[in-house]
Amino acid sequence: MTMMLWGEEAVMPVERSMIFVTFESAFAPLGGLAAVMRVLPQKMAQQESGSCAILTPFFREITKCQKTLYDAIQFTGHHFDLVFAQQSHRVDMYVYINPEGFPTYLIDTTDFFNAPCHCEDPPSLNAPCNPYLTPHHPEQLLQDSLFFCAAVPKALTALGLTKHVVLSLQDWETAATALTVKEDDAIESATCFLTVHNPYDQPITEEDIRQFSTCSLEGTSVLTTMIPFLDGPLSTVSDNFAKELIEDPLHTTIYASHLQAAFTQKGLVGINNGVFGSLDFPPIAIEKAKQGEVQPLLQEKRRRRDEMITILEDYQPNQAWGSLDWAEFEGPVFLFFGRDDPRQKGYDLAAAAIQQIPKGKARFIFTPIPGDEGITGLEFLRMLAEERQGEVKVFPFRMAQGYSELQKGASFLVMCSFYEPFGGATEGYVVGTPVIARATGGLVQQVVPYPARCYSESVRQRTNHFHEDHCHPSGFLFREPDLSEDDFKTGWQTIVDCAYWPHGDRLAERMTTRLFRAMVDEASIALLDAIDLYTNHPLNYAAMIQQGFQMAASFSWDMTVRNYQKLFQSVVK
């Protein structure tokens, strides 16, 4: 069941220690979780009367990529021995204190948290700077996470945090902490909450559990086994994603079917993230646009486009695919970004939609960070870049330079996500870039849809609850129509199974299903709608940019903090 956090009154925090336990952090970043951990804990610290900190593994090789950060990490003087899988391991504790005085504690040991990292641009595929992936030992993620959870109560004890501790656990990798702190007699009082940023989970066996616990537990996955040990409701990162997790057949029958009983038993609360990034656009252009004078806004957007083009012409790594011809081209530029998760991000959906766009209408830039399938899994983008020479450029790696200029200079950010817990629309808004997205998860809340052809009944049904009719559009939303139960199950099961891997073609396999083809058709309509708006209606495009600034301002981290405090306060007395 979903739960509501009623009222707008501020919660008076009790004297307690608030610890964010997270596998991913600014020291080992990859996706949205690291972005949240850069902001939320420090915002929480500003409103808590007690102490507040982050506790995270020390992925030393990955952190070395950030030399200034790495050099500022100090040994705390604390260490302890931890028995895991019948072997004793020495664990050292380090700390980084940022300029605002906020501490991050890092747990270091020899045999764990050794994901490799190659810091050149682009990074080596065998060392992808990914805390979740050790290419030659994919099973290491579960071991790293369980060892980390076993170490958390020992680390808290070393820091003297054994009473009135609230642990904000992040995703399945930290969920076993709810058990380990209850088994450690040194922890006198600790309350555990879990925020799920995705429906990800991991199979676990009795043998896995016996590595760190003597408990006999029921459950076949980390979450089903550990959720019963939580002290309060689960939370997730947007109102709409909380709703979808227990109502949308995608989650109730595919991604999170095994979690439905736990959601019912514990409850599930949607707490919206705040805005990612700060406003980065000339204030005078924004003010003049409010007064109806949009030319300064459009001129600034043009300047950013020119700067982006200059950077792209200079930045030509051998590992990139395709080319972009800017000669006499005045049409829109679409930017696709994020980690390549073949079960979530929809890069293949985007590629198929682009194939339906007439040549010469737009330019398309992809910046996928390779996921579990590595560079091989993105072969369909390499083929698209070859087919659409001069129109498609793919940077299949984490870009170390030029990415912010791409966000600022692009005409639209595009997110073709199969599902999206919160989403990165606000990243575009703060730099003056509207958004195109599939109507799912938090993106439904972030994007006020433009009433073009892609504004279908399927989109309307999902957005009416969040956006009034008088709201000005901030982008485009698309959504395939509801299909038959057979088409739905066949399509999603094909996407989830990834049976093409490792020798097949992701895009070709998925195009055999009616569900995927319906998504492609609606995505291509959305792109054509955006091309028409940009090319033929510049004033409406400017108004869309202006509305993006307003939408970004509506997602407040202060409100996020207050809602988490209400959740904690409902259990912590």
pLDDT in tens, 274-319: 999 899 999 999 999 999 999 999 999 999 999 999 999 999 999 9
Q: What is the pLDDT of residue 374?
A: 86
Same domain, 223 and 332: no
Please report, for the domain that includes residue 421, its CATH number: 3.40.50.2000
> Whole-structure pTM over 0.85, yes or no?
yes
pLDDT at 135: 81
Token pair 């989109």: residue: 459
Structure tokens at 36: 């949240």
Q: What is the pLDDT of residue 14?
A: 56
The yes-or-no verdict on residue 7 having pLDDT over 50 is: no
Indicate whether 430 and 494 sit together in one domain: yes
Task: Identify whether residues 478 and 535 lie together within a single domain.
Answer: yes
- State pLDDT tens for residues 91-129: 999 999 999 999 999 999 999 999 998 776 666 666 778
**Cβ proximity of 147 and 23 under 8 Å:** no
Do 209 and 305 share a domain, yes or no? Answer: no
Whether 263 and 331 share a structural domain: no
- Among 16-25, 188-197, 395-404, 563-572, whose mean pLDDT is lowest? 395-404
pLDDT score at 8? 43
Picking from 46-55, 116-125, 272-281, 489-498, which range would have the lowest pLDDT averaged per residue?
116-125
Give yes or no: residues 522 and 417 share one domain. Answer: yes
The number of domains in the chain is 2
Strand 391-394 versus strand 321-324 pairing type: antiparallel
Q: Are residues 465 and 481 in the same domain?
A: yes
Contact between residue 496 and residue 255 where contact means Cβ atoms under 8 Å apart:
yes
Tell whether 548 and 563 lie within a shared domain.
no
Tell me what pLDDT residue 399 has.
85
Q: Structural domain of residue 265, as residue ranges?
A: 2-274+558-569
Tens digits of residue pLDDT in 430-487: 999 999 999 999 999 999 999 999 999 999 999 998 987 667 999 999 999 999 999 9
In sequence order, what are the residues at sequence separation of 6 or more whose Cβ sits closer than 8 angstroms to the Cβ of residue 497?
none
Q: Residue 377, SS3?
A: helix
- Same-domain pairing of 152 and 32: yes
Summarised one tens digit per residue, pLDDT across range 317-370 is: 999 999 999 999 999 999 999 989 999 999 999 999 999 999 999 999 999 988
pLDDT attached to residue 470: 65
Same domain, 231 and 309: no
* Together in a domain, 227 and 325: no
Kindly report which listed range (5-19, 35-49, 170-184, 280-294) carries the lowest average pLDDT score: 5-19
Q: Up-side HSE of residue 561: CA atoms within 13 Å toward CB?
A: 21
Mean pLDDT of 14-42: 92
Q: Are residues 216 and 361 in the same domain?
A: no
Mean pLDDT in the chain? 94
CA atoms within 13 A on the CB side of 550: 15
